[in-house]
Every structure is written in C-alpha cells, then in structure tokens.
C-alpha cells in the first residue's frame, strides 16, 4: 500500500516576522518535525510568504497588484532557498510547484500535476506549492492558499490536511482552542472572529469554508499553531490544535477531483424537485432550472444551488449556459448526468 498523503499549509503570518520577512527559526522547526514524518507520509507543503520575502526589494512599495506580483517573483526563490537549506540539513530535497487554478479545473492538467508529484515522492522529494502569483489573472487579495491546499488534498485523496495559524486552532468565546469538531454548523461558524492578519489574505472564515469541503471529502483537517514545542507533531497526534473529523465519503478519485470544485465556471439554481432528484442520485433535467449565472461551455464544472442560494452539489455540464434558455422546456433534456454530479 502506498504511504498516505499529508498536506500541510503554512500561512504568511505563521512563518514570518512582524515585518513580513521569513522567520527562519520557524522554518527550521517545520523541517525538523516534518523530517520525522518523511518515511511515513507523502508530504506536500503549501507555503505563503513569497510577497513578504520579496517586498523589501521593491522600491516605494505600497502593495498594489503589480508590486505584489513583482514582490512574489523576487520572494518565491528566496523563500524556497530557506526551505531547501533547512530540509537539506535533514537530508531531504524540496521542489517548487507554482500552481494556477486552471491546473485543477481541467482533468488532464490535474493528472499531469499529480504524476509529477508522484515522481517527486518516489525520489523522496517534498513538493512545496504556492499559487503562481506572477501570472495569476486574479488579484492576489482573492488568492487564498487555504483553497490551494484543499484542492490538492481533495484531488489527491489526502488522509490529513494540517493548516497552521497564529491562533493555534479555532477559538471559542473564552479564547480557548476547540479541540474537536464533528461538523461545521452555524454554531461553529459563529465562533469566527471577522478580523484577520494584515500579512495574509485569508482568515478563519476562509479556513472553515475549505475545511468543511475537505471533511466532506473524507479528509481529517487539523488547524494548529507552531507557537509551542513539537506543535506540528502534537497536532497530528490529536494533542493540540482543533481537529475536524472527516465525514464518510465513498467517492472515486475522479469524483473527489470533481467535488473539490477546483474552478467553477458558473452556477445553476434549481427548484426543490430538481434538488431532491439530484440528492437521490438522478440526473439534472433542464425543466428544474430556475436560473443560471456565469458563462460556461459544455463539459465545464458548475455549482448547483437550491432556492435558498445554498450550494449543494457540483456538476460537469452537458450543455453551455447559452443553451439553457433554449432547451429548458424540452422534456427530459439532461443538463448534467448523474455520473457527473457530486453532492457536497
């Protein structure tokens, strides 16, 4: 049996100093603790911090989109060099993996990415992933490595995903770490502090959003901190941080990829009858569609929403958005086949 996959995500604030520069003491601890797990897991690291590492080289830096892209271009190799230095001390090589959302939206590109990671793992190399900020066509403030970590974890079928934060976990009203969460519901979401670090782009709300998706795909998620001795190892053993228990998910590898919603091109709102049919593992027929938003072509991934605007599934369509108004009255016209729908 192949070793299980462990995805570990480090946000900007968790690996940098107050001025945004990488904190080498933390990165050394990351390398030391992950080195003890290297023989047991196929490890992927998702690391923010490139902008912080490179912004000091950009004159008159104010943080606009072009300056952030330039800072990331400078910071990415600097950050990777620090990781390489400290992992190298334990005899482990690392590799850089700059990802874009399109790599997860198209099955063929995703499989190429997966095959590359498989080759790296065969050679004992740990891939370190980050969004390709330099060429991303979306502003960095919308880019979120919590999402990237979740896409990798769900698409690759990871056993566990660790998300490192300054807070050390999800905090309750008394600012105590919630040790275990069975299900992310309104009560859990109500604990979220709307504030977020000025260094990063995501907050706890983002983490819970993607944690909910990951647990629905059968992945255990642990939100933890590196601000205590053996923080990562203790979190993995359930001794610190907040553990979010996985839900039962008997999905194929393809449907895990589809269900991760790597890049949805639009969404369709359906009536209660169509929702019930989809939940009963039936195809989505055009007659049950109330409206569609976004422009998508046949074969692209979309979200399915109910009358309360809640996303309950993702699907690969059999028609374009332009076709729906023309065919919504055709009896029995299939917009998405049951085999191409994943309930989330």
Enter the tokens of residue 45: 């690291």
For residue 212, what pLDDT is reported?
A: 83
Q: Quick: pLDDT tens for 241-270.
A: 999 998 876 666 666 666 665 556 678 999
- C-beta of residue 6 within 8 angstroms of C-beta of residue 30: no
Extents of the domains making up the chain: 5-254, 264-343
pTM, 2 dp:
0.77
Rounded to whole angstroms, the Cα distance separating 305 from 292 reads 10
Task: With a cut of 50, list the residues of the chain below it in pLDDT.
Answer: 139-143, 196-201
For residue 252, what pLDDT is reported?
A: 65
Q: Quick: pLDDT tens for 267-309.
A: 899 999 999 999 998 999 988 899 888 877 777 778 888 998 8
- C-beta of residue 260 within 8 angstroms of C-beta of residue 104: yes
For residue 197, what pLDDT is reported?
A: 45
Domain formed by 5-254, architecture: 3-Layer(aba) Sandwich (3.40)
For residue 298, what pLDDT is reported?
A: 78
| CATH of the domain spanning 264-343 | 2.30.130.10
For residue 254, what pLDDT is reported?
A: 65
Task: Provide CB contacts within 8 A for 236, sequence distance 6+.
Answer: 6, 37, 160, 162, 222
Task: Provide CB contacts within 8 A for 157, sequence distance 6+.
Answer: 5, 253, 256
For residue 200, what pLDDT is reported?
A: 45
- C-beta of residue 22 within 8 angstroms of C-beta of residue 15: yes
């Amino acid at each position: 049996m192949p070793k299980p996959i462990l995805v570990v995500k480090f946000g900007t604030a968790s690996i940098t100093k107050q001025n945004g520069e990488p904190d080498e003491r933390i990165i050394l601890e990351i390398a030391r603790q992950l080195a003890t797990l290297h023989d047991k897991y196929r490890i992927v690291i998702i690391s923010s911090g490139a902008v912080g590492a490179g912004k000091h080289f950009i004159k008159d830096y104010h943080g606009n989109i072009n300056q952030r892209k330039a800072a990331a271009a400078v910071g990415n190799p600097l950050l990777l060099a620090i990781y390489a230095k400290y992992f190298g001390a334990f005899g482990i090589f690392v590799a850089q993996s700059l990802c874009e959302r399109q790599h997860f939206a198209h099955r063929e590109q995703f499989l190429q990415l997966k095959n590359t990671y498989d080759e790296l793992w065969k050679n004992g190399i740990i891939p370190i992933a980050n969004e390709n900020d330099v060429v991303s066509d979306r502003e960095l403030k919308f880019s979120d490595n919590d999402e990237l970590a979740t896409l990798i974890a769900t698409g690759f079928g990871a056993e566990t995903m660790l998300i490192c934060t300054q807070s050390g976990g999800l905090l309750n009203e008394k600012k105590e770490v919630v040790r275990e969460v069975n299900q992310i519901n309104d009560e859990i979401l109500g604990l979220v502090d709307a504030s977020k670090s000025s260094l990063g782009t995501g907050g706890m709300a983002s983490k819970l959003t993607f944690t909910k998706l990951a647990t629905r795909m059968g992945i255990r998620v642990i939100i933890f901190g590196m601000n205590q001795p053996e923080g990562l190892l203790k979190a993995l053993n359930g001794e610190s941080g907040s553990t979010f228990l996985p839900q039962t998910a008997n999905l194929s590898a393809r449907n895990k990829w589809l269900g991760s919603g790597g890049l949805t091109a639009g969404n369709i709102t359906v009536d209660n009858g169509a929702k019930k049919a989809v939940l009963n593992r039936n195809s989505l027929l055009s007659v049950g569609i109330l409206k569609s938003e976004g422009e998508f072509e046949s074969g692209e991934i979309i979200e399915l929403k109910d009358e309360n605007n809640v996303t309950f599934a993702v699907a690969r369509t059999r028609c374009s958005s332009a076709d729906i108004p023309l065919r919504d009255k055709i009896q029995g016209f299939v917009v998405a086949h049951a085999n191409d729908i994943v309930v989330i």
